[in-house]
Amino acid sequence: MDSLDKSILLLLQKNGKITIKEISERLNLTTTPIFERVKRLEREGYIKSYKAILDRKKVGLQLMAFCNITLNQHQKDFIKKFEKDIQQFSEVVECYHVAGMFDYLIKIYAEDMESYQDFLSNKLASLENISKVQSSFVMTEVKDFSFMPIP
Protein backbone atom coordinates (compact mmCIF):
# COMPACT_ATOMS: atom_id res chain seq x y z
CA MET A 1 0.00 0.00 0.00
CA ASP A 2 1.42 3.36 -1.00
CA SER A 3 0.56 6.94 -0.05
CA LEU A 4 -2.09 7.19 -2.78
CA ASP A 5 -3.88 4.10 -1.44
CA LYS A 6 -3.76 5.65 2.04
CA SER A 7 -5.23 8.90 0.74
CA ILE A 8 -8.05 6.99 -0.95
CA LEU A 9 -8.78 5.06 2.26
CA LEU A 10 -8.84 8.25 4.32
CA LEU A 11 -11.30 9.89 1.93
CA LEU A 12 -13.55 6.82 1.89
CA GLN A 13 -13.53 6.65 5.69
CA LYS A 14 -14.67 10.26 5.93
CA ASN A 15 -17.42 9.76 3.36
CA GLY A 16 -18.32 6.28 2.13
CA LYS A 17 -20.59 7.84 -0.51
CA ILE A 18 -17.81 9.84 -2.16
CA THR A 19 -17.67 9.10 -5.88
CA ILE A 20 -14.67 7.94 -7.85
CA LYS A 21 -14.88 11.25 -9.70
CA GLU A 22 -14.71 13.24 -6.47
CA ILE A 23 -11.75 11.18 -5.22
CA SER A 24 -9.90 11.66 -8.51
CA GLU A 25 -10.54 15.43 -8.41
CA ARG A 26 -9.24 15.71 -4.83
CA LEU A 27 -6.14 13.67 -5.66
CA ASN A 28 -5.58 15.27 -9.09
CA LEU A 29 -5.77 12.00 -11.01
CA THR A 30 -8.03 10.55 -13.65
CA THR A 31 -10.91 8.30 -12.66
CA THR A 32 -9.55 5.07 -14.16
CA PRO A 33 -6.56 4.58 -11.85
CA ILE A 34 -8.67 5.61 -8.83
CA PHE A 35 -11.39 3.12 -9.78
CA GLU A 36 -8.80 0.35 -10.25
CA ARG A 37 -7.16 1.13 -6.89
CA VAL A 38 -10.48 1.16 -5.03
CA LYS A 39 -11.43 -2.19 -6.58
CA ARG A 40 -8.01 -3.62 -5.62
CA LEU A 41 -8.35 -2.31 -2.05
CA GLU A 42 -11.77 -3.98 -1.83
CA ARG A 43 -10.48 -7.24 -3.34
CA GLU A 44 -7.48 -7.37 -0.99
CA GLY A 45 -9.69 -6.77 2.07
CA TYR A 46 -8.48 -3.30 3.05
CA ILE A 47 -12.07 -2.13 2.53
CA LYS A 48 -14.33 -4.60 4.31
CA SER A 49 -17.69 -2.98 3.57
CA TYR A 50 -19.64 0.22 3.12
CA LYS A 51 -22.42 1.17 5.50
CA ALA A 52 -24.50 4.01 6.87
CA ILE A 53 -23.79 5.04 10.45
CA LEU A 54 -27.11 5.74 12.13
CA ASP A 55 -27.93 8.09 14.98
CA ARG A 56 -28.88 5.54 17.65
CA LYS A 57 -31.03 8.00 19.59
CA LYS A 58 -33.09 8.95 16.53
CA VAL A 59 -33.90 5.28 15.92
CA GLY A 60 -34.99 4.87 19.55
CA LEU A 61 -31.91 3.42 21.24
CA GLN A 62 -31.45 5.83 24.13
CA LEU A 63 -29.23 3.62 26.28
CA MET A 64 -25.68 2.51 25.53
CA ALA A 65 -23.96 0.15 27.93
CA PHE A 66 -20.69 -1.72 28.12
CA CYS A 67 -20.58 -5.06 29.91
CA ASN A 68 -17.49 -6.78 31.18
CA ILE A 69 -18.07 -10.53 31.23
CA THR A 70 -16.12 -13.24 33.00
CA LEU A 71 -16.56 -16.88 32.06
CA ASN A 72 -16.50 -19.82 34.49
CA GLN A 73 -14.65 -22.15 32.13
CA HIS A 74 -11.95 -21.12 29.67
CA GLN A 75 -11.60 -24.24 27.56
CA LYS A 76 -11.79 -23.79 23.81
CA ASP A 77 -15.28 -25.31 23.46
CA PHE A 78 -16.74 -23.01 26.12
CA ILE A 79 -15.17 -19.95 24.53
CA LYS A 80 -16.42 -20.86 21.04
CA LYS A 81 -19.94 -21.50 22.37
CA PHE A 82 -20.06 -18.16 24.17
CA GLU A 83 -18.82 -16.33 21.07
CA LYS A 84 -21.41 -18.07 18.89
CA ASP A 85 -24.24 -17.42 21.35
CA ILE A 86 -23.46 -13.72 21.97
CA GLN A 87 -23.69 -13.02 18.23
CA GLN A 88 -27.37 -14.01 18.27
CA PHE A 89 -28.39 -10.96 20.32
CA SER A 90 -29.25 -7.90 18.24
CA GLU A 91 -28.67 -5.67 21.29
CA VAL A 92 -24.97 -6.59 21.25
CA VAL A 93 -23.36 -4.41 18.59
CA GLU A 94 -19.72 -5.15 19.47
CA CYS A 95 -17.97 -7.97 21.30
CA TYR A 96 -14.29 -8.27 22.12
CA HIS A 97 -12.29 -11.07 23.75
CA VAL A 98 -9.96 -9.12 26.01
CA ALA A 99 -7.02 -9.69 28.33
CA GLY A 100 -7.12 -8.44 31.89
CA MET A 101 -9.62 -8.73 34.72
CA PHE A 102 -12.48 -9.81 32.43
CA ASP A 103 -12.77 -12.14 29.47
CA TYR A 104 -15.11 -10.17 27.18
CA LEU A 105 -16.23 -6.62 26.63
CA ILE A 106 -19.56 -6.14 24.88
CA LYS A 107 -21.29 -2.97 23.73
CA ILE A 108 -25.07 -2.92 23.94
CA TYR A 109 -27.74 -0.57 22.60
CA ALA A 110 -31.16 -0.62 24.23
CA GLU A 111 -34.28 1.52 24.15
CA ASP A 112 -34.12 2.28 27.86
CA MET A 113 -33.12 0.84 31.24
CA GLU A 114 -36.15 -1.47 31.29
CA SER A 115 -35.26 -3.05 27.95
CA TYR A 116 -31.63 -3.34 29.07
CA GLN A 117 -32.78 -5.14 32.22
CA ASP A 118 -34.88 -7.46 30.05
CA PHE A 119 -31.84 -8.17 27.85
CA LEU A 120 -29.68 -8.86 30.90
CA SER A 121 -32.21 -11.05 32.71
CA ASN A 122 -33.72 -12.97 29.83
CA LYS A 123 -30.99 -13.18 27.22
CA LEU A 124 -27.51 -12.71 28.65
CA ALA A 125 -28.32 -14.61 31.85
CA SER A 126 -29.58 -17.53 29.77
CA LEU A 127 -26.07 -18.18 28.43
CA GLU A 128 -24.13 -20.97 30.06
CA ASN A 129 -20.71 -20.43 31.57
CA ILE A 130 -21.02 -16.76 32.60
CA SER A 131 -19.79 -16.16 36.13
CA LYS A 132 -19.78 -12.37 36.32
CA VAL A 133 -21.24 -9.39 34.46
CA GLN A 134 -20.35 -5.81 35.26
CA SER A 135 -22.31 -3.09 33.44
CA SER A 136 -21.27 0.49 32.78
CA PHE A 137 -23.71 3.00 31.29
CA VAL A 138 -22.68 5.78 28.94
CA MET A 139 -23.73 9.20 30.17
CA THR A 140 -22.06 11.27 27.42
CA GLU A 141 -20.45 10.25 24.15
CA VAL A 142 -17.27 12.31 24.14
CA LYS A 143 -15.91 10.91 20.87
CA ASP A 144 -17.79 8.58 18.59
CA PHE A 145 -16.14 8.44 15.23
CA SER A 146 -15.39 5.31 13.28
CA PHE A 147 -12.23 6.67 11.70
CA MET A 148 -9.07 4.62 11.70
CA PRO A 149 -5.68 6.33 11.52
CA ILE A 150 -3.53 4.78 8.80
CA PRO A 151 0.17 4.50 9.66
3-state secondary structure the chain: CCHHHHHHHHHHHHCCCCCHHHHHHHCCCCHHHHHHHHHHHHHCCCCCCCCCCCCCCCCCCCEEEEEEEEECCCCHHHHHHHHHHHCCCCCEEEEEECCCCCCEEEEEEECCHHHHHHHHHHHHHHCCCEEEEEEEECCCCCCCCCCCCCC
Residue-level pLDDT at 148 = 81
Q: Kindly list the structural domains of the chain, giving each domain's residue range(s) and its CATH number in brackets, ordered by start.
A: 3-43 (1.10.10.10), 63-137 (3.30.70.920)
Band (64; pLDDT cuts 50, 70, 90): very high
Mean pLDDT, residues 58-75: 96
% of the chain surpassing 70 pLDDT: 100
Q: Indicate the burial class of 140 (C-beta count within 10 angstroms; 0-12, 13-18, 19 or more).
A: exposed
Which tens digit of pLDDT belongs to each residue from 77-120? 999 999 999 999 999 999 999 999 999 999 999 999 999 999 99
Q: How far apart are CA 75 and CA 143, in angstroms?
A: 36
Closest CA to 76 of 84, 68, 88: 84
